[in-house]
Structure 1
Amino acid sequence: MSKIKKFFSKKKEEAKFRLNAGGGSLGQGRKLNAVQEPSTSQKKVKDAYVPPKRKELSSEAKAAAAAALARVEKKDKKEFNTSLAAIRAQVKRELEEEKIRSGGQQKASDECKRGEERENWVCKGVFFRCTLVSGDILPRKEWKAKIKEFLYQQLENETALTACLIIQNCNAKEKAEQCVETLRKYIENLINHPDEEKYHKIRMNNKIFCEKVRYIEGALEFLRAAGFQEIEIDNEPFLIWASDNMEKEIDLNTLLEGLDNAEPLTLELDRNIQVLLPSQARRSELPADFYRISAEEIKREQQLRTEALENAQILKTKAMREREEQRFYAKYRFAVSRIKFPDGLYLQGTFNVYEKLNDVYEFVQSCINDDIFDFSLIGPTGIKFSEDDMDKSLFDLRLIPNTILIFQDESESKSSQHFLKDELLLLIQEM
C-alpha cells in the first residue's frame, strides 16, 4: 500500500471511530480521569518521546566519550563537569593539531568556527518531522517545499487522492476550503444526477470556476482523475465528464471521501535534544522562530519595555499587571525547557507553549536511565508540581520562553552515577 493510501486509510478509520463513539455503538462512555491512576512521576511511560536516530559517531568521538566516562566513574559527582570538559578540550586540541600537521589548517579553522556557533547558539531554531514524507528533521519553511515536492511526485500513481492533499497543503486555507466545497458539488451532482448532461460539463471561463477552482493547485488534477477532460466547444474551453476517463480503481464516492479526509500534513515538533555543561546552559538567547511576531515587532516590544521601566513609579492595579503579563507571554510560540541533574548536566528540549507539563515528564523519562522509575521536577520557585499541574500547559504554568527545572531522583535505588542514557552523554556540546 502506498503512503498516500495509508494516509487516507488511517483518516477513514479515525472518522469511523469518531462516528461510532458519537452514535453510542461503543457503549456508554466514561471520563478518562474517573479511575485514579498512578502519579506521572511514579509510572514508566512506554510511549514517551523517542529521539531520532543520529549519524554514526566517528572513532575519535567514540574514543573521547569512552575516556570521559571512564574518568567520570573514578570521580565524585562534583567533579563530573570539570573532568568531562577537560577531556573533551584535550581531545579537541589533539585533533586540531593533527589536522594542522596533515595540511588541513583551513579545515581546522572552519571546525573552530562551527564550535563557536554551537557555544553561542545552543538553541539554533525550531525543527519538525513528517514521517509520511521522510525521516528528515527540518525547519517549518523547508518542510513546506519538501511536502509540495513529495506530493507532486505521487501524482503519477495516486492522482485523485494526492490531488486532494495538494489542494490542502499547497494553497491558502480559505482558498482550499472554497475549492473543496465547489468540487464536492460537482461530484455530488454526478452521483445524484448521473443522466443529466448539464452536470457532465463545466465551462472553464465561468466566474465561479475561475475564482474557486481553476487556479488552485491540485484542483485540475483532481477533476482529470475524476473523469473530466478538457475540450473546446465553439472556441471556448470546457471540461467534459465521462466515466471511462476516471482513474482506475477510483469511483465518485471514493473521491468524496478523499475531499472530506484530506487535510494539511501534520508536522511533529522535534525536541532537538541537547546536553549542556553549566557554562553553556547560562546562555538563553532564542532564535526568531520562537516568536509569534517579527524581528521589528520584537524591537518595538523591547522599546516599550524600556519605557515601562521609566514609568515604573506609577501605581498599577492587579488587572493592569495581569494584562501586561499576558501580552508578554503571548508573543511566544515555543519554549525551551532545561532540566538540571544533580551531576551538573543540563538536558534541553523544545516544546510548544501549549503542550502539557506531562509531556515534559515523558520527555525526561525517555532520556534517563531505565533504573530510575520515580522522579520529580522542581519549578523555578523551588516548589514541586502537583498532580493537577500535569494537565496544565507550559503557558498556563508560565514555564516559557526558557525555564530551568531541577531533577530530583526519588527512587529507592540511587546506585546510578549517571542519570542520562550513555548515548545522550555523547551529545554534550563542544566547548
Structure 2
Amino acid sequence: MKIGIAMDSFKGSVTSLAAGLAVERGIKRVLPKAQIELCQVSDGGEGSLEAIYGHCGGTWQRLKTVNLMFEPVEVDYLISLIQGEKTAVIESARIIGLHFIQPSESTVDQSSSYGLGQVIKDAAGKGVKRVIVTLGGSGTTDGGLGLLQSLGAELFDEQKKLIGLTNPLRMIASLDIEPALEFCRQSGIQLEIANDVTNVYGGEAGAAFVFGPQKGASASQCQWLNEQLLKVAAYGIETYDIDLQKVSGSGAAGGLGGAFCLLGAKMISGFELMSEVLNLAERLKGTSAIYTGEGSLDGQSAAGKVPAGIAEIGNRYGIPVIALAGRRDQSLGQLEGQLTAAFSIQLEPCSLAEALTKEKTEQGLETVASQSIKLLQASFASVDS
C-alpha cells in the first residue's frame, strides 16, 4: 500500500517536514511495510523555501539588506533549477515581515518594502531569469512603492520633489516607474507572485482598510493611505491601462501585489504555484490515501490553503483524503464535502501553550494517524473481500 503525506506547517509548532514525519511514524506503527510518498508543502507562505529546497534542491543565498524599518538584516533566499529553469525563490516575510515590528501608527508611517527590491536585484545579478516571490506575512502598507523605488522608480510629492524612503505612499502625488520597468527588461527577469489574497488595491476591500489595522494603522491613517493608493491606481490606468481596482490580489501585502502587477508580474495562487513546482499531483495520484492538515482547520481553509488543494487532487483521482489539525471547527464549510474525514489531534485537555509545543503536536499527529489508518485498512480489506 502506498500512502501520500502532504502536511502544511503547524504555525508556531512544527514544520511541514516534521509534521509529515510524525504522520509517517503513526502509519508505520500499523503498516510497517507501507510505501510513503512524503511531500513537503506550503500554500506560498511560511515554509515555501524549505518545501522547494526539499524537492528541487538548490543553493541558499545570503544577502545583507534592510528590513521594513530600514534596520540592517541578513536574509536567505533560494536559487534552484525549477522545471529546467534557473529560478530565485524569495519569501517577502523574511525581509519585510510583520514579525520585525510591534505594529503601531509610527511603524505604519515608517515602514517600506524597499529591502525586498534589493533582494530581487541581487538575484538578477546572479543571472536568474525567473523570480518567484511569496507575499504572505508582510508588515508594510506602502502600496509596494518602496519596492518600486528600490528598482529605480522615481516618486514625487505635491511640490514635485523626490520622496524619501520611509513609507513613500504617505507623500505620493505622482510617479514614474519606467526606470524600474527598464531594470526588469535589461535584466531579463520574469516575476511570478505567489498570493492567495483576492483583495484589490484600494477601496473598502483594499490594502489599507482590510490589512492596515493589523499592521498598526489607525482609522485616520487607513483613510489617508487609501486615498493615496487610489492615486497610484489612477496612474496605472492613465499610463499603462492597468486597472488595479480590477486585479484580484493587487491589495496583497499592503499593496505589493499591485506594484508587482505594474511591473508585469504573473499573479498565481500560492498553492497552485507550489503544487506545480513540487509536482504534487503526479507524486500523489498513485496513492491509496492521502494525509494532509494544518494548525487550524476551518471554513477559511477552503480558500487556497494546503488541505483544500490536496483535497482537490485527491478528489480528481478518487483517493480518500484525511486531514489532521491542531484544532478544527465544528463546520468546515465547503471543505466538509471535499475531505473524506478531518480530525483534531488533541489527545487530552491542555492549555493552548502546551498544545502548541513541538512534542505535543508530533505526539498527536502520530497517534491520530495510527488510529485513522486502522480504519482505512479495515475499509480496504472490506473492499478486497
Into which bin does the TM-score normalised by the smaller protein fall?
Answer: under 0.3
Indicate the structure (1 or 2) with the bigger Cα radius of gyration.
1
After TM superposition, the score normalised by the length of structure 1 is 0.23
More strand by share: 2
After TM superposition, the score normalised by the length of structure 2 is 0.25
